[in-house]
Amino acid sequence: MNITRFIARRIAFGSGKSFSGFILKIAAVAVGLSMCVMIVTNALVSGFQEEVSRKLFGFMGHIQISSFDGNRSFEDLSPINIKQDFYPSLDTVTGISRIQVYARKPGIVTTDTDFEGIVLKGIDHNFDWSFFEQYLVDGRALELGGEKKANEVLISRTTANRLGLKVGDKMTIRFLQKPPRARRPEIVGIYNTGLEEYDEVYALYDIRNIRKLNDWEEDEVGGFEVFLDDVRDLDQMSEDVYYRYVPHDLLSRNLKEINPNVFEWLALQDINEWVILVLLTMIAIINMITALLILILDRTNMIGILKALGANNWQVRKIFLYNAAIIIGLGLLLGNALGLGLCWLQQTFEFIRLPEDSYYISVAPIKLNWITIVLLNLATMGVCLLALMIPSILVTRIKPITAIRFR
């Protein structure tokens, strides 16, 4: 170990009861708390974005293929033939996990005392229930495999609570068309995804019933939902599907294009995270600069002696920079332990709760990205040391004869 590092360690660990030693401990704690908040902030924002996105994509698919008809509403699509070149072979394309059909039909649910609008989402026997099974709060999924059309419906807890319905009840749905029609399916299940925009509108229904209501042929559907293996490939896969696989008379859009407001809101969380990270880094830098200045003033006599013995300014500055690196390192260790510990506690006990109607989730989710955590540590160490280069210039202003005279 060279003399610079030896002296730096002596300063760091040998000034415990002095005022400068107390300031160094405060600076280490400040760095640690800053790193703790950085880790927790990144884990919360990443977890929140991933969980909300997973719910949105699980409900509607990553990419939707429908008819190209601007004269109809999104819920009342013109039918398209199920016999397409891309169906069902599109799920063999690398990056695409599955493709399934759907149809939508708006209606009005009426009871003895109330009524409410609803959109029936028609699905068939190939529908993947892995998403909705997580959010079934009562009853069961629809049985769609039989030859006879299932007169069953799966509604949201929001709809059930508003209209006073429960599993086993018959609900009356009226459709405004020519001629007007009505259906009385049995409620076999109630779900709650927490996506209020969807829960208060959608119910799942057998697509064959929607075909009959719309006077469609047996081989006609409202559209196709495409699910990807990795959401990070959404933009690229969306372009590939549109230009390579979908015919010109059909429209292909990803969910970001269909519902941009939610994803813009999620993107804003990145800005909030960066603001917090920058502010915390500035706090750590300010504390370390204050500590370093006090340490230099406290060690003025030592600086004079070292210069008198032949040490140049850079050698003396390195002593204090090494010392600062040790303090920052100790603070980072403390911050990592606290931050990861808090994340583990949240994952285990879920003590941070959120209003589901506002945030789409009831518990603050945690997602730890180890690469990001390592980069946060390295960036904090590097930025702090670069910032400390400026106050360390004070060493060059200290004259040996002046420092030793006033010992």
SS3 call for 247: coil
Q: Report the C-alpha gap between 404 and 407 in whole angstroms.
A: 5
| DSSP letter (8 states) at residue 72 | S
Write the single-letter amino acid at 187: I
| pLDDT score at 406 | 52
Q: What is the mean pLDDT of residues 43-66?
A: 91
| pLDDT score at 263 | 87
Residue 372: exposure state from Cβ atoms within 10 A (0-12, 13-18, ≥19): middle
| DSSP letter (8 states) at residue 233 | G
Query: pLDDT confidence of 18, banded at 50, 70, 90?
Result: low
| pLDDT score at 360 | 85
Domain edges within the chain: 3-55+263-405, 69-248
Q: Report the C-alpha gap between 175 and 178 in whole angstroms.
A: 9
| pLDDT score at 71 | 47
- Say what percent of the chain tops pLDDT 90: 50
Query: pLDDT confidence of 135, banded at 50, 70, 90?
Result: very high
| Distances 174 to 121, 141, 165, 208 between C-alpha atoms, Å | 15, 23, 16, 17
Q: What is the mean pLDDT of residues 348-353?
A: 90
| Distances 12 to 17, 22, 295, 347, 351 between C-alpha atoms, Å | 11, 11, 10, 36, 38
Query: pLDDT confidence of 150, banded at 50, 70, 90?
Result: confident
| CA 314, chain centre distance (Å) | 45
* Widest CA span in the chain: 105
Q: What is the mean pLDDT of residues 62-85?
A: 76
Q: Which of 250, 220, 253, 256 is nearest to 122 (CA)?
A: 220
- Say what percent of the chain tops pLDDT 70: 90
Query: pLDDT confidence of 75, banded at 50, 70, 90?
Result: very low
Q: Which of 265, 270, 267 is nearest to 42 (CA)?
A: 270
Query: pLDDT confidence of 244, banded at 50, 70, 90?
Result: very high
171, 190 in Cβ contact below 8 A? no
DSSP result, 333-385: HHHHHHHHHHHHHHHHH---B--HHHHS-SB------HHHHHHHHHHHHHHHH
Write the single-letter amino acid at 146: G
Q: Report the C-alpha gap between 388 and 197 in whole angstroms.
A: 50
> What is the tens place of the pLDDT at every residue in 295-326?
777 777 777 777 777 778 777 778 778 888 88
* pLDDT at residue 172 greater than cutoff 60: yes
| DSSP letter (8 states) at residue 245 | I
Query: pLDDT confidence of 392, banded at 50, 70, 90?
Result: confident
**Taking all residues of the chain, what is their mean pLDDT, rounded to a whole number?**
86
* pLDDT at residue 249 greater than cutoff 60: yes
Write the single-letter amino acid at 133: E
Q: Compare 112 and 206 and report the one with higher pLDDT.
A: 206
* Beta strands 250-254; 63-67: pairing state: antiparallel
Q: What is the mean pLDDT of residues 88-92?
A: 90
* pLDDT at residue 24 greater than cutoff 70: yes
Across 34-176, the runs of DSSP E, i.e. the strands, are: 63-67, 80-81, 96-110, 115-123, 136-139, 152-156, 172-175
Which of 28-42, 131-145, 285-299, 334-348 shows the lowest mean pLDDT across its residues?
Answer: 285-299
SS (H, E, C) 261-287: HHHHHHHHHHHHHHHHHHHHHHHHHHH
pTM score: 0.82
Query: pLDDT confidence of 333, banded at 50, 70, 90?
Result: very high
CB atoms within 10 A of CB 56: 24
Query: pLDDT confidence of 168, banded at 50, 70, 90?
Result: very high
Across 94-212, the runs of DSSP E, i.e. the strands, are: 96-110, 115-123, 136-139, 152-156, 172-175, 181-183, 186-191, 202-206
